[in-house]
Chain A
Amino acid sequence: MNNRIMNHPVLGKLEKEAAFTFTFDGKEYQSYEGDTIASALLAGGVRTLRVHENSASPRGIYCNIGHCMECRVTVNDTPSVRACLTEVKPDMVVESGKPKAAPFTDRENMPHTYTEFEQKSKRKAGNNHV
């Protein structure tokens, strides 16, 4: 998939630029020199760069100027890198943001003590995982 403008009336043909590959969540994508992670993935048809930690709803490019932190991804094991500001380098390994364990989503009924937490969570005795 390629959403790029290959032949621009002012900027010329894109084939002249150097192309290389990088991976996003294990899949290979093509990038041109000067691409940001966000622009290369958008051209590759990827609009979801991460999901919300609690609700797992999708997130992608929002402000695209490094302001909102919505496009943060993990680059070469460095977490929270803004995809919209970071230039792609050859063989970069990019991972999307995954949902995290969220035992309580109802903010009104959050447990306030550990006893309440044990009562409210469906946690079995002896199992330390939430």
Chain B
Amino acid sequence: MDKVVVCRCEEVTMEDIKHTAEKYQCSAREVKLRTRAGMGYCGGRTCRPLVNAALEEATGEKPGNDLPLKVQPPVRPVTLSELGGDK
């Protein structure tokens, strides 16, 4: 179970998240910044609920509203050229 990859973009395993959460007793956001889980190509759109759930399991912290793994537009990752950066 610990070898399961949670964040596929940055290849962060359950073990990495548990280890970081227990070592630093930190929030979901801090785990994200330390392990890069949720900071990859898909923008955390695949693993964010899993990271939050793993955190809750490791530290007992419920994903709150103060420092959550927030969602930002756009809905999907787009390239700068799609936004007109090619001109």
Contacts and interface: CB of A to CB of B under 8 A. Distances in A.
Interface of A: 52, 54-55, 57, 59, 62-63, 66-70, 72, 80, 107
**Range of interface residues on B (Cβ < 8 Å):** 10 to 19
Among all A-B residue pairs, the 5 with the closest Cβ atoms: A69-B42, A68-B46, A69-B41, A68-B42, A55-B11
Contacts of A62: 8, 46
**Main DSSP-derived SS at the B contact region:** loop
A57 B77 CA distance: 23
Nearest to B77: A69
A52 B11 contact: yes
Contacts of A63: 46
B45 interface: yes
Given A69-B9, A72-B41, 10 more contacts: A52-B11, A66-B76, A67-B46, A67-B76, A68-B42, A70-B9, A70-B42, A80-B79, A107-B34, A107-B35
